[in-house]
Structures are given as C-alpha cells and as structure tokens.
C-alpha cells in the first residue's frame, strides 16, 4: 500500500493535476518554458508561456488565438471544444482531437492538450489552423510566426489533395512549388505554399444557396433602402477582428457589420463572411443590385484563399463595408479599385 501511495505521489508531481483528452503516453513529461517573446514577421508583438511535452512545443490555445486576432472565443466545457473566429471563418477544435474544422473543411492536427484547465496546441497545428507558419527560435527562446504562411507542416493523415483543398489551389500547383514527382508526403515535412496570386480563392460557396430568415413584410426595394440607410449610420465606426454583436455599433468586423445592418431590416445573416457567402443566389457583376453582398479574399492577410471579406453593394459601383484599415467606409467604383478588384470572388443576393 505504501509503495502504491509513493507511486501516486510521484505521478502527481510529474504530471500535475491535469486532464489530457485524447491519446497520450504513460511517460509524458511536461516542461514549463519561461515566457517567450512572440514575433510576427520579425516584429515582437507579445509574450506567451509555452510548454514542452516529450520534445514537442505547445502554446496556450486562447493566447495564441488572441495574438492572431481571433478575438471571438467560445468554449464548450462538456466536450472541451473551442469555437473561435476573426470574422472571416469559424474554427472548431476539440482538445485531444486529431482533426479540427475550419469553415467547411477539416484540418489534420497533432492532438491539442488539456493541462491544468488550459488548452495547448502544437506549433505546427497552430500554424495549420491559423494560416501561419510557427517555429521556436532557440537563439533567443522566441516564438516566430510567419503570417500569412508561405509554408505548411504536414500532419499525420494529410494528403496533397486535402492540403491543396484547404488552400484552394490545385495538387499540381502544390507539387510544382515543391518539385515533387510523386504524391508521397510524410508527417513533419515542410511544404512551400504557392504564391496566393495563383489561387482562385474559395469559389465553393458560390454554388451554395442556403436561404436566410427574413422577418420583414417590406418589398425587396424597401428592404434594400432600409439596409443602406442603416449602414450609413455607422460610417467611421472602428474595426476589430472577431468583434461581437455586443460591441456594436462601436466596433465591427466586416461580417458582424453586415449581420448587424441586415438584422435591423429583419434579415438574419450567419455570423462570419464564409457562412454568409453560402447563402442566397449568385449574381454576376453586370447584374448587381443595391443590397447584394460582395465577397473577397485578402491575399495579403490570408494565403489559404478563404472568403475573407464581405461588403454591401450600394449601386453605381459603390460598396459600403467595415474595412480593416479605416473601419466602416464607402469604397467607390469597388471593382475598379486596385486592391479590391484583384481580391474579388463573387456576389450573392439574399434579398428576394
């Protein structure tokens, strides 16, 4: 009995009082690392407290999410699942799970850990989820983040097809960028991502036609007028990635802005731009009407080709939207604008 008690005391000293969801090893050793500086594209932005488990670096999931502007964070205690967004897409990750969901796509990851009531994610898994490339720099003990990523760390279960799909490029483009002559890849292999300029972006949602709930009895024209009147009220409001509706009308991201404005006209849009892009019916640029939603990628911010931005067409070539740089504003002649024209994906009509 005494030997058993001694064994349990040693076990608790080594492992702490943590709950680890998913597979682990009997000899897992946790080492707490001193606070590390976090550098994004070479500039220090914050600090973070990593841990090492059996030689693998892990970062606190919530802290990393906030550093990378995923400010809307929900946690399901029962399943130990986080749901986060920066306003463009929703990421769901369960502690101990080998696959996470980003938008409507699944990402293979090294299982996140649940230790002392804190979720931790490996550097490579964090990179895959956040479209970043994350490494540890031994010389100064820092976490280095390349954002957006130009590299991808292969995870167990990955194929060239699924890596290509989550970055909205072709398998052939991925193979050419890495001089690959076969489809064989291995866990931990680092792949170069083709230039985002080669990606057509996430065109899949244009085929989706999910209806939206419309509680208004007004005509389509009247609703469009009401939406634009409401939208103009907030010109000058500040931008915040992952802004919640509770922060409106002082702070918006692009999709919380459209959700808020349409909601005042009785139209219930989903929360994020990718999900809003799955609603309504596709409309050509030659047939745009006031109140249509315009969708864009943002190649300088994301290299995975995601639906990254949404705005409201006003008529006469103009769009009102919450921009990352200037907050709520009107962009005139949006499809002739040097930035937005090269990032344009498609438009959808939800007022019908």
Residue with tokens 């050793």: 29
Q: How large is the greatest C-alpha to C-alpha distance in the chain, in angstroms? A: 83
What is the DSSP annotation of 164-205?
HHHHT--HHHHHHHTT-SSS---TT-EEEPPPGGG-----GG
167, 168, 254, 264: the active-site residue: 254
> How would you classify the pairing of strands 36-40 and 142-146?
parallel
Angstrom distance (rounded) from CA 210 to CA 204:
13
Supply φ then ψ for residue 281, to 5 degrees: -120, 150
**Is 124 among the residues known to form the active site?**
no
124, 155, 167, 321: the active-site residue: 321
**Is 309 among the residues known to form the active site?**
yes
Beta bridge partners of 289: none
Alpha helix stretches (DSSP H) within 116-182 = 123-130, 160-167, 171-177
**Is 155 among the residues known to form the active site?**
no
What are the residues whose beta carbons fall under 8 Å from the beta carbon of 12, sequence distance 6 or more?
Answer: none
Angstrom distance (rounded) from CA 28 to CA 25:
5
Residues taking part in catalysis: 254, 309, 321
């Amino acid at each position: 009995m005494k030997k058993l008690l001694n064994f349990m005391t040693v076990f608790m000293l080594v492992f702490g009082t943590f709950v680890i969801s998913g597979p682990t090893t009997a000899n897992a050793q946790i080492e707490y690392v001193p606070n590390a500086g976090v550098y994004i594209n070479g500039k220090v932005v914050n600090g973070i407290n990593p841990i090492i488990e059996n030689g693998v670096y892990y970062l606190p999931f919530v802290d990393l999410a906030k550093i990378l502007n995923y400010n809307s964070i929900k946690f399901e205690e029962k399943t130990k699942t986080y749901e986060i967004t920066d306003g463009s897409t929703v990421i769901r990750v369960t502690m101990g799970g080998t696959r996470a969901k980003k938008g409507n796509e699944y990402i293979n990851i090294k299982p996140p850990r649940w230790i002392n009531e804190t979720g931790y994610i490996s550097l490579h898994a964090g990179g895959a989820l956040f479209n970043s490339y994350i490494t540890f720099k031994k010389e100064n003990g820092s976490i280095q983040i390349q954002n957006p990523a130009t590299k991808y760390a292969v995870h167990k279960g990955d194929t060239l097809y699924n890596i290509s799909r989550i970055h909205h490029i072709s398998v052939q483009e991925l193979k050419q960028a890495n001089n690959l002559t076969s489809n064989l890849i291995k866990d931990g292999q680092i792949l170069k991502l083709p230039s985002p300029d080669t990606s057509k972006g996430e065109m899949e949602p244009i085929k989706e036609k999910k209806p939206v709930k419309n509680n208004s009895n007004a005509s389509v024209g009247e609703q469009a007028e009401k939406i634009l009147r409401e939208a103009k009220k907030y010109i000058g409001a500040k931008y915040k990635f992952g802004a919640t509706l509770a922060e409106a009308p002082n702070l918006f991201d692009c999709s919380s802005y459209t959700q808020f404005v349409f909601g005042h006209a009785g139209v219930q849009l989903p929360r994020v731009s990718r999900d809003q892009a799955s609603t309504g019916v596709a409309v050509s640029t030659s047939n745009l009407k006031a109140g249509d939603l315009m969708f864009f990628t943002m190649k300088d911010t994301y290299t995975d080709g995601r639906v990254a931005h949404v705005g409201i067409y006003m008529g006469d070539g103009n769009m009102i939207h919450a921009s990352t740089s200037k907050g709520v504003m009107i962009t005139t002649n949006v499809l002739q604008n040097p930035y937005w024209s090269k990032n344009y994906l498609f438009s959808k009509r939800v007022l019908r």
